[in-house]
């Protein structure tokens, strides 16, 4: 029986010729990732294990990004624990305030993850790196601790769903609209513990940032991971960012999939996920007038340079509607600098936005954008569960940077056509 991309990567890292869905394996890890929320727990478990050193100082990555810049005393202590551990263990890839970024944008940018890698992270959106043809998935802090000590982790080999993409996205339609469309189609448990694998002629039309967004939200469909084939777009990104050796894996022609979906990219419309699940999707031509209080543009899903360019295109020469708060979070320092060079930050400030240093901040209801009772936010983030960005009686609507920027201008949820006409 043939293997999928994911199954081939898992087999290679387990030292096996082949694997099958449901098989339990122990595989070597290329990167073990943690942040300021999950690393302190992993550090405590690591110390309980009794190991004196991490398995490889270059392969453990810690990025305090969730409550950094420190929100309060507790978050300051969390970050300090990460900082002290990183210094004591000689961890080479520790990135904090001033050089940090949101972890899932930072690692690809730094060239730490690449095609064919096996990456685990104590954060559910670790699945982002599948955009580069890697197997990446979120784990618990205990698994992170064991992997820091041993360089290995156990897995149950997932079965897969194949999404064959055809055609090309229309103007002002993005990877965010694509993944929201897919989640709306299959549901938040439609890919539970499965690999979401993408193929087809339409893949070539997606930018690398589109692919990062799609892979990032695979977990919102319950998936173990999302993964794209390695093509010219992938290679261009890898060669520009990484000097690491890499390996390209391709699915076998006779690979077995639980389901196959054919997606016509040309037919995808601008899409918004209503509260309180990412599957509760509506296209912008089917949305009643819904006023909003806050717009957030950023996060590990949509805080890259392409995302900021898209938002700035809508905001250029326009103003944020009075009474609406627009907060922009560049995903990394490098993205921030590029946005300054291109004049995007000036566009945001002139439009009436507040621009923040890279942080996860409001996405998880952490800080720098918490919602009060009854407030609504339109956000380029990835989750809109009850209380996700603040008060349990607040609401979060998920959308692309184009739609989020349009909402900031109009003060309500709408497509870009209403702003551009």
The H or E element containing residue 47 is helix 39-49
Domain count, the chain: 2
**Does residue 246 sit in the same domain as residue 287?**
no
Position 356 scores a pLDDT of 92
Q: How far is CA 119 from CA 41, 79, 199, in A?
A: 19, 22, 21
Residues 6+ apart with CB under 8 A from 319: 351, 352, 409
Answer yes or no: do 316 and 215 share one domain.
Answer: no
Last residue of a domain, one of 263, 283, 308: 263
Are 19 and 27 in contact by the 8 Å Cβ rule? The answer is: no
287 & 140 share domain: no
Dihedral sign for Cα 180, 299, 207, 257, please: negative
Residues 252 and 288 reside in one and the same domain: no
What is the extent of the structural domain holding 277?
Answer: 271-420
Which pLDDT belongs to residue 152? Answer: 96
- From first to last of its 421 residues, the chain has per-residue pLDDT tens of 799 999 999 999 999 999 999 999 999 999 999 999 999 999 999 999 988 999 999 999 999 989 989 999 999 999 999 999 999 999 999 999 888 899 999 999 999 999 999 999 999 999 999 999 999 999 999 999 999 999 999 999 999 999 999 999 999 999 999 999 999 999 999 999 999 999 999 999 999 999 999 999 999 999 999 999 999 999 999 999 999 999 999 999 999 999 999 999 999 999 999 999 999 999 999 899 999 999 999 999 999 999 999 999 999 999 999 999 999 999 999 999 999 999 999 999 999 999 999 998 888 888 899 999 999 999 999 999 888 989 999 999 999 999 999 999 999 999 888 888 7
Mark whether 222 and 276 lie in a shared domain: no
Are residues 365 and 249 both part of a single domain? no
Predicted TM-score (pTM) of this structure: 0.94
Residue 298 and residue 243 in one domain: no
Residue 294 CA, chain-centre distance (Å), reads 21
Q: Which of 198, 230, 263 is the last residue of a domain?
A: 263
Domain boundary among 234, 263, 292: 263
Judge if 256 and 335 occupy the same domain. Answer: no
Rg (CA), the chain: 20
Are 167 and 223 part of one and the same domain? yes
* Cα distance from N-terminal residue to C-terminal residue, the chain: 54
Q: CATH code at 188?
A: 3.30.499.10
- Whether residue 415 is found in the same domain as residue 364: yes
Within this chain, do residues 161 and 297 fall inside the same structural domain, yes or no?
Answer: no
How do strand 93-94 and strand 24-28 relate by DSSP bridges?
A: unpaired
pLDDT at 363: 85
Nearest residue to 107 (alpha-carbon basis) of 71, 62, 166: 62
What is residue 405's predicted lDDT score, i.e. its pLDDT? 98
């Amino acid at each position: 029986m043939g293997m999928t991309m994911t199954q081939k990567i898992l087999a290679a890292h387990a030292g096996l010729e082949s694997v099958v869905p449901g098989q339990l394996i122990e595989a070597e890890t290329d990167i073990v990732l943690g942040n300021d929320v999950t690393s302190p727990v992993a550090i405590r478990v690591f110390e309980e294990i009794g190991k004196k050193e991490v398995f490889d100082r270059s392969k453990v990555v810690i990025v305090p990004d969730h409550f950094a810049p420190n929100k309060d005393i507790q978050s300051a202590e969390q970050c300090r624990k990460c900082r002290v551990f990183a210094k004591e263990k000689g961890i080479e890839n520790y990135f904090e305030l001033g050089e940090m970024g949101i972890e899932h944008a930072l690692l690809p940018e730094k060239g730490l993850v690449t095609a064919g890698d096996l990456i685990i992270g104590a954060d559910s959106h670790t699945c982002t790196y599948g955009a580069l043809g890697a197997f990446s998935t979120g784990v618990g802090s205990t698994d992170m601790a064991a992997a820091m000590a041993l360089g290995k982790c156990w897995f149950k080999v997932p079965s897969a769903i194949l999404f064959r993409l055809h055609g090309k996205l229309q103007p002002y339609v993005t990877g965010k609209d694509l993944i929201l469309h897919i989640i709306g189609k299959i549901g938040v448990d439609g890919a539970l513990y499965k690999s979401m694998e993408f193929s087809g002629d339409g893949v070539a039309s997606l930018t690398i940032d589109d692919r990062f967004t799609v892979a990032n939200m695979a977990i919102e469909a319950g998936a173990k991971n999302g993964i794209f084939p390695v093509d010219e777009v992938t290679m261009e990104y890898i060669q520009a960012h990484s000097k690491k050796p890499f390996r390209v894996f391709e699915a076998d022609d006779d690979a077995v999939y639980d389901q196959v979906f054919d997606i016509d990219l040309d037919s995808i419309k601008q899409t918004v996920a209503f509260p309180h699940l990412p599957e509760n999707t509506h296209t912008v031509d089917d949305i009643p007038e819904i006023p909003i209080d806050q717009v957030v543009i950023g996060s590990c899903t949509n805080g890259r340079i392409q995302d900021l360019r898209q938002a700035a295109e809508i905001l250029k020469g326009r103003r944020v509607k009075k009474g609406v708060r627009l907060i922009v979070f560049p995903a990394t320092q490098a993205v921030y600098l590029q946005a300054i060079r291109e004049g995007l930050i000036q566009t945001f400030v002139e439009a009436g936005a507040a621009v923040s240093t890279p942080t996860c901040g409001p996405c998880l209801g952490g800080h720098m954008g918490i919602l009060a009772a009854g407030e609504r936010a339109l956000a380029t983030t990835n989750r809109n569960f009850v209380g996700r960005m603040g008060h349990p009686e607040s609401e979060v609507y998920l959308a692309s940077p184009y739609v989020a920027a349009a909402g900031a201008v109009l003060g309500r949820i709408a497509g870009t056509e209403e702003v551009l006409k």
